[in-house]
Structure 1
Amino acid sequence: MVKEKADCIDSGTEYCPCKLAESGECILCSQLQGKCFCDCVNWNGVCIYQEFHDNGMKAKPGRKATTCKVISSELIEENLIMIKFNIPHKLALDLVKPGSYIFIRTDKNHFFDVPISIMNSDIENNIITLVIEVRGVKTKKLKDIKAGGVIVIRGPYWNGIFGRDNILNQKEGNCLVLANGIGLAPMMPVIRKLVSNKNEVDLYIDTSPFKNNFAKEYVEEFGIIPRQTHLIEKGKLSDEGRLIIKNLIKDKNIKLIHLAGADILTYSVIEYLDELDRGDILLSCCNNFKMCCGEGVCGTCTARFSGHRVKRFCKLQGEPRSIFEGRRLI
């Protein structure tokens, strides 16, 4: 029996143990799940139970809200906003990692918190750049943000992508990034990490439903020329997408594919790689589960799997293939 690779994104950080430990729902620690023996799902060099014990059998303080000054707020397309704001240096460092995101609001009411992935964290000038697609009540409030004003953020959070270890461990290889729509924003920290690890990155983007590539300026800083294509057609991977993957696997021996888009893109690529019998190619993808609290408490991000297992995907870090196994598209 092969044990499923799973990890908690907060394990070993200053935010562990969290409220899940108090309620007997820790993702990793068997003893904090109410069992009588020690059998960690994934050892991270820190005993979560010991940390919980030393902290007086209670959770450590969670993320705090921070008020930030807005540098600019630009409507770059209809229903597409780019916001830049100042941030404390430590937060800028924390949010440079692939998969980083924050909760942001302009209203005093905490119900207006909305999770947004980080597009760019400038650690020299302590400036965060976000690109936000306006779709509902919460994001419509963000259209009111003006330069010189303030916003309230809560973070840092890091589980905005699955397969993060595949990205961090990939070095001096050939990688393919397929990005669609608003997924162009969270792909940037991934590209930054892959390039810093001396990987060669081929980037193919499908900007629909938007007109322009709003990430072009940031991509070109890494010397990468994005190629425009059409990735999804009638709910499936397009013929262009299939050809891109097949040819690059053959010509460049691709080691990792990062999928920055909707679940339908990830699911379709996994199916196609299975057709090619290329389960050896590593994957990473966007975490598109709905988020509300970010702490595994509210249940908004949960999904049920075989064996009556409930997984909290705001914290659970896993492989895209295992996460999408047996799931149908939403």
Structure 2
Amino acid sequence: MVKEAIDCIDAGTEYCPCKLAEYGQCLICSQCQGQVFCDCLNWKGVCIYQELHNNGYKAKEGRKTFDCNVEEVINNNNNNLIIIKFKAPHKLVLDLVKPGSYIFIRTDDNHYFDIPISIMNSDIENDIISIAVEIRGIKTAKLLNTKANENIVIRGPYWNGVFGIKNILAQNNTKALILARGIGLAPMMPVIRKLLSQNNELQAVLDKDPFNVNFATELLEKYKIKTSENSLLDKGQLSDHAKVIIKDALEDGVTFIHIAGADILTYSVINYLNEINRNDVVLSCCNNFKMCCGEGICGACTSRFSGHRVKRFCKEQADPRNIFEGRRFI
């Protein structure tokens, strides 16, 4: 069993303490949980309880909404995929550079219809944010009506779109493998950008299925990394091509793998690494839990684990291996 350290993505930020602390459910602070002794699970340099006390035992002001001007809309793959580029306030663009950044996009006057979308690119020089949206249901279909020079309403910033962020930040002057499939090509880009800034040597293997285009090509061309296209899944299992790619990469000195795709891809890669006794390989992956409020209140992102543990994955950081270990699927 992997020893697990509980971490909150918002701890120590301008959005901490949040509503969870106000109602005695803070992920980190024991005193905000109603206990007597101070026993922080993951010290971030800021006393959450002190901040709560100074704020009158109320949560800090939450994320704000912004009206942003749409610069460009690209419709790909027969209305199954659109790329939206919009201008945003400079501070928001800076906040959304880091891996795992995402926003909520308003599709209706009712804010319960807001949809979470990962950031594909945050251009801090021109204050342009790019997102890729797979059209899957009623809410995302409304984004097909988005037009250039019109306004789009967003809420943010949010940062827990990737698990294993600590692992990403720890990679310096090493070799890394990126496995991305489908819409996972979008949240893959900030991870690649961060890894390259830390002088890592990258190899990216892309599976564009279910799309007929690689919509990340334009951004990938800006970076000097080795890329190839291969099928990563075959009938719900890790493909033979993927197994060979992973094995060859590990023999070449790769010690870190980022998995950008559905949970089935992450789960299959972890199982394969277990089969070949390579538990030493460090991982990060996409957060695919359902998001609704983004603040851990509504419960849409929660999952139950052995020992009657409930985790709020819109805020709680986790190692990819811990997402599946002890998880109750019924």
Q: Note whether the superposition's TM-score is higher than 0.5.
A: yes
Q: Distance in 2 between matches of 1:6 and 1:243?
A: 34
Q: Distance in 1 between matches of 2:128 and 2:77?
A: 22
8 Å Cα contact 1:103-1:114 kept in structure 2:
yes
Q: Which deviates more from structure 2 when the two are superposed, residues 101-110 or residues 230-239?
A: 101-110
In the TM superposition, what is the alpha-carbon distance from 1:224 to its structure 2 partner? 1.9
Match of 2:37 in 1: 37
Match of 2:227 in 1: 226
The percentage of counterpart residues that share the same residue type is: 65
Provide the aligned length of Structure 1 versus Structure 2: 329
**Secondary structure of 1:116 counterpart:** strand
Match of 2:264 in 1: 264
Match of 2:154 in 1: 153
Match of 2:290 in 1: 290
Q: Distance in 2 between matches of 1:45 and 1:254?
A: 33
Structure 1: gaps of 5 or more residues: none
In the TM superposition, what is the alpha-carbon distance from 1:130 to its structure 2 partner? 0.6
Letter of the 2:319 counterpart: E
Match of 2:139 in 1: 138
8 Å Cα contact 2:202-2:226 kept in structure 1:
no
- Aligned positions of 1:129-208 closer than 5 A: 129-208=130-209
**Secondary structure of 2:49 counterpart:** helix
8 Å Cα contact 1:106-1:145 kept in structure 2:
no
- Aligned positions of 1:1-330 closer than 5 A: 4-78=4-78, 79-251=80-252, 253-327=253-327
In the TM superposition, what is the alpha-carbon distance from 1:36 to its structure 2 partner? 1.3
Write the deviation string for residues 69-118 of structure 1: whole angstroms up to 9, x where unpaired.
Answer: 11111212221001000000000000000000000024222122000000
**Secondary structure of 1:17 counterpart:** coil
8 Å Cα contact 1:290-1:301 kept in structure 2:
yes
Residues 129 and 2 (structure 1 numbering): CA distance in 2 closer, same or farther, change over 3 Å? closer
8 Å Cα contact 1:248-1:254 kept in structure 2:
yes
Letter of the 1:206 counterpart: D
8 Å Cα contact 1:263-1:329 kept in structure 2:
no
Letter of the 2:250 counterpart: I
Residues 132 and 229 (structure 1 numbering): CA distance in 2 closer, same or farther, change over 3 Å? same
Q: Distance in 2 between matches of 1:227 and 1:327?
A: 33
Q: Distance in 2 between matches of 1:44 and 1:52?
A: 15
Write the deviation string for residues 23-76 of structure 1: whole angstroms up to 9, x where unpaired.
Answer: 110000111111111111111111111111111111000001110011111212
Letter of the 1:197 counterpart: Q
Q: Which deviates more from structure 2 when the two are superposed, residues 71-80 or residues 150-159?
A: 71-80
Structure 2: gaps of 5 or more residues: none
8 Å Cα contact 1:163-1:320 kept in structure 2:
yes
Residues 234 and 328 (structure 1 numbering): CA distance in 2 closer, same or farther, change over 3 Å? farther
Q: Distance in 1 between matches of 2:314 and 2:53?
A: 24
What is the TM-score with the length of structure 2 in the denominator? 0.97
**Secondary structure of 2:224 counterpart:** coil
Letter of the 1:256 counterpart: F
In the TM superposition, what is the alpha-carbon distance from 1:162 to its structure 2 partner? 0.2
Q: Distance in 2 between matches of 1:259 and 1:192?
A: 15
**Secondary structure of 2:169 counterpart:** helix
What is the TM-score with the length of structure 1 in the denominator? 0.97
In the TM superposition, what is the alpha-carbon distance from 1:145 to its structure 2 partner? 0.6
Q: Distance in 2 between matches of 1:156 and 1:199?
A: 27
Letter of the 1:57 counterpart: Y
8 Å Cα contact 1:178-1:257 kept in structure 2:
yes
In the TM superposition, what is the alpha-carbon distance from 1:180 to its structure 2 partner? 0.2
Residues 2 and 246 (structure 1 numbering): CA distance in 2 closer, same or farther, change over 3 Å? closer
Letter of the 1:59 counterpart: A
In the TM superposition, what is the alpha-carbon distance from 1:147 to its structure 2 partner? 0.4
8 Å Cα contact 2:25-2:33 kept in structure 1:
yes
Q: Distance in 2 between matches of 1:324 and 1:106?
A: 32
In the TM superposition, what is the alpha-carbon distance from 1:12 to its structure 2 partner? 0.5
Q: Which deviates more from structure 2 when the two are superposed, residues 283-292 or residues 214-223?
A: 214-223
Q: Distance in 2 between matches of 1:320 and 1:5?
A: 12
**Secondary structure of 2:299 counterpart:** coil
Q: Distance in 2 between matches of 1:277 and 1:242?
A: 14
Q: Distance in 2 between matches of 1:313 and 1:250?
A: 34
8 Å Cα contact 1:101-1:116 kept in structure 2:
yes
Q: Distance in 2 between matches of 1:71 and 1:105?
A: 17
Q: Distance in 1 between matches of 2:167 and 2:90?
A: 27
